[in-house]
Structure 1
Amino acid sequence: MSNSKIDISVVIPLFNEDESLPELVEWNCRVMEAHNFSFEIILIDDGSTDRSWEVIEELKKQTPQLRGIKFRRNYGKSAALNVGFEAAQGNVVITMDADLQDSPDEIPLLYSRIMDEKYDLISGWKKKRHDPFTKTLPTKLFNSATRRMSGIHNLHDFNCGLKAYRRDVIKNIEVYGEMHRYIPVLAKWAGFKKIDEQVVEHYPRKYGTTKFGLSRFINGFLDLLSILFVGKFSKRPMHFFGSMGVLSFFTGTVISIWLIGEKLYDISMGVKFRNATDQPLFFIALVAIVVGFQLFLTGFVAELVSRNSSERNNYQIEREV
C-alpha cells in the first residue's frame, strides 16, 4: 500500500444535492479534525441541474481539503465513483452518499478496521433502513442473488454507499455501468479476499427525494450477470463460448451422421426411405451445427478484443476546483 501523506480520502458522488452539501462537508470535517486525520473530500457532481456546483465552489473557499469534479452531463454513480477513485490519494478511501443518510461518524472505526485489522474492504450494512418497502424488498432480493452468485456470503448489503477501501483496491478495479452495486465482487475478482462488513447507522433522507427509479433494478441484474461473466471469463472467453460451440456443433454432427446412417441402411435393405428434410431432426441438427460454429467464432473474436476498450471510462469533465 502506498504511504500517502493523506490518511483518508472521502469520495462522494452527487446529483442535485445542493441542500445537503454544506452540512455533509461540515460533518466530515468535524469528524476528521476530532481524530487528527489528514484528509481530502472529493465531491463528484454527476451533471447536477440545481446549484450543487455553485455550492461546491463556495465550500472550496472555506475548506482547502475539498476537491470538486463536475461532469458535463449525468453519467451515473458508477462513473462518478470511478473518477473519484482515480483522483483519491488517501491510504484509506471512504465512499458515502451525499443525501446525509450515511453518517461520517462511522469513518474512524472503518479506518481502524482497514489499517489495524488489515482488511481490504469493509462494506456498510444498513441493518435498520429508513427507506420505503418498494426500495428495500428489491434490494434484499438482489443481495441474496449476489451472495449466491458471487460466493461472498458474509455481506448482507452489497449496495450500501458507505464503504471503506484500502487504496490498492480502488486503484486496481474498474467501475462502470451499474457496477457500483457490486464493488465487493469486483474486488474479489481482482484478488482482494479480506472483505467484511460493519453495521452502520442509516438516517432518513433530510432533503429532496431519491434519484433512483425502477430501471436500476433491471440494469443491476444485467450488470450482475455481466460482472460474473467478466470475472470468470474475461481472460479466457473462448472457454465459455468455445465449449458451448463445440458441444452444439458435436451434437448437430452426431445427429446428422445418425440420419445419414439410417438412410444408407434403408437403401441397403431395399426399404423406401423418407427425405431427410421431412424429419424434424434434420433441422435440429442443422441449427445445432450453425449455432455451434457461430459460438466458436464468437469466442475467438472475444479472445482477441477481451477488455481492450479504451473508451469505457472516458467521461467529459467540465470543471475542477
Structure 2
Amino acid sequence: MDISVVIPLYDEVESLPELTSWIKGVMDNNRFSYEVILVDDGSKDGSWDMICRLKEQNPHLKGIKFRRNYGKSAALNVGFEAAQGDVVITMDADLQDSPDEIPELYRRITQEKYDLVSGWKAKRYDPISKTLPTKLFNSATRRMSGIHNLHDFNCGLKAYRRDVVKNIEVYGEMHRYIPVIAKWAGFTKIGEQTVEHRARKYGKTKFGLSRFVNGFLDLLSIFFVGKFGKRPMHFFGTLGVLSFFAGTVMALWIIVEKLYHISRNEHYRDATDNPLFYIALVAIILGSQLFLTGFVAELVSRSAPERNNYQVEEVI
C-alpha cells in the first residue's frame, strides 16, 4: 500500500464528508493505493455515525472510536499502530489542511528519501493570540532540539516513512513535538514543505489557552525524556552528587574552622549558630534525595510497558 492517511478528530461531523471526498479525488487522480484511518477521539456530535456511513461508500476508509476523549496524541499513536502504508500522512479533520498537498509530500518521502516532512503554514488565518505564542514555542523548540530548519513543529500536516511511525511513541500531549521525538529515535533526515492553510469552514477550534502552558511543560518533558529518558540516573545522580559534595565541603569547613579556634584556645560560636551549617545540611539532604530519585527513576523507566493503553470501543 502506498499511503496511509491518519486523521484524528473530535466533533467534526460537518467536515468529514467533504474531507473524505477530497482525499478520494486526490488519491484516484494520482492512482495511489491508500487507506484513510479516521480516529474518533470520543466525539459527541455524531462523528462516528458519519464515519460508518462514509465507510459504506468508500471501502478505503477505516474507523477507530475511543470510548472517551483521550487527546490528539493518543489518537495519533493508535492511528500509527494501525497504519499499513509505506508513507504515513497526518492531517487535521477541520479542512484547514489541504489534501492537495499529499502527492508532493509522498514524492519527497519516496524520492528525496526524507524520514519526515513537516508542513509549514507560512500564511495563517489564525488570530495573533494564537500565532504569536506559536512562534515563541517554535523558536524555543528549535533551540532546544537542534532542528533548525523547521518553522512550525505543530503543523498537523506531516508525512513519515513507515519505519518512523512504527518506532516512535506519542503520548500525553507530545503530538506537538513529533519531529523532536523522531530525531531522538534516530530519524534525522527531517524536511519542511510550505503548505496551504485554509480558514476553518465548520465548527470551532478545540484548543484553548491551556495548550500554551501544556506546550511549554511538554517541551521541557520531551527535552528531558529525549536526553535522559533511558538514563535518568545520569541527570538526578549528577545533581545529587554535586549537591551532596557541596554540602559535605561546607560541613568540613565548619568543622575545620571550629577545631582551628579550639586549638588556639579561642572562643568560637557553636556550629548551629553558623548559617552555613543549615545550608550544608540542606545540600546534603537534597543530594541524597536526588540520588535516590535517580535510582527510582531507573527502576520506573524499565517498568512502564502500559503507558499507551487506550480503551478502543469499536474498529470497522
User: TM-score normalized by structure 1?
Assistant: 0.98
- For the residue of structure 1 that corresponds to 2:63, the secondary structure is strand
- Residues in 2 aligned to 1:138 and 1:280: alpha-carbon distance in whole angstroms: 43
Instruction: Map 1:202-217 onto structure 2 (within 5 A).
Output: 202-217=197-212
Equivalent in 304, 309, 317 of residue 304 of structure 2: 309
- Residues in 2 aligned to 1:208 and 1:301: alpha-carbon distance in whole angstroms: 46
Corresponding position of 1:220: 215
- What letter matches 2:160 in structure 1? Y
1:256 equivalent to 2:251? Answer: yes
* Cα deviation, residue 216, structure 1: 1.0
Equivalent in 136, 150, 156 of residue 151 of structure 2: 156
Corresponding position of 1:137: 132
Equivalent in 95, 101, 105 of residue 90 of structure 2: 95
1:199 equivalent to 2:194? Answer: yes
Summarize deviations over 1:51-81 as a string: whole Å, max 9, x none.
1001000001001000000000000000000
User: How many residue pairs align between the two structures?
Assistant: 316
- Residues in 1 aligned to 2:134 and 2:201: alpha-carbon distance in whole angstroms: 21
Gaps of 5+ in 1: 1-5
1:10 equivalent to 2:17? Answer: no
* Cα deviation, residue 87, structure 1: 0.3
Corresponding position of 1:295: 290
- What letter matches 2:196 in structure 1? E
- Residues in 1 aligned to 2:238 and 2:308: alpha-carbon distance in whole angstroms: 31
Summarize deviations over 1:1-45 as a string: whole Å, max 9, x none.
xxxxx1000000000000000000000000000000000000000
Judge conservation of contact 1:263–1:273 (CA < 8 Å) in 2. Answer: yes
Runs of 4 or more above 3 Å deviation = none
- Residues in 2 aligned to 1:228 and 1:211: alpha-carbon distance in whole angstroms: 26
- Residues in 1 aligned to 2:74 and 2:222: alpha-carbon distance in whole angstroms: 16
In the superposition, relative to structure 1, how do residues 307 and 134 fare at CA in structure 2: closer, same or farther (>3 Å)?
Answer: farther
Summarize deviations over 1:108-156 as a string: whole Å, max 9, x none.
0000000000000000000000111111111101000000000000000
* More divergent stretch after superposition (231-240 vs 280-289): 231-240
Corresponding position of 2:69: 74
- For the residue of structure 1 that corresponds to 2:171, the secondary structure is coil
1:265 equivalent to 2:260? Answer: yes
Summarize deviations over 1:238-289 as a string: whole Å, max 9, x none.
1111111010000000000000001011111111110111111000000000
In the superposition, relative to structure 1, how do residues 119 and 307 fare at CA in structure 2: closer, same or farther (>3 Å)?
Answer: farther
- What letter matches 2:140 in structure 1? A
Judge conservation of contact 1:234–1:307 (CA < 8 Å) in 2. Answer: no
1:107 equivalent to 2:107? Answer: no
Corresponding position of 1:49: 44
Q: What fraction of aligned residue pairs are identical, expressed as a percent?
A: 77
- Residues in 2 aligned to 1:212 and 1:309: alpha-carbon distance in whole angstroms: 29
In the superposition, relative to structure 1, how do residues 201 and 70 fare at CA in structure 2: closer, same or farther (>3 Å)?
Answer: same
Gaps of 5+ in 2: none
Q: What CA RMSD, in Å, does the superposition of the two structures yield over aligned residues?
A: 0.7
Corresponding position of 1:285: 280
Instruction: Map 1:222-237 onto structure 2 (within 5 A).
Output: 222-237=217-232
Corresponding position of 1:3: none
Corresponding position of 2:172: 177
- Residues in 2 aligned to 1:110 and 1:310: alpha-carbon distance in whole angstroms: 33
- What letter matches 2:70 in structure 1? Y
- Residues in 2 aligned to 1:67 and 1:307: alpha-carbon distance in whole angstroms: 34
* More divergent stretch after superposition (77-86 vs 271-280): 271-280
* Cα deviation, residue 310, structure 1: 2.3
Corresponding position of 1:127: 122
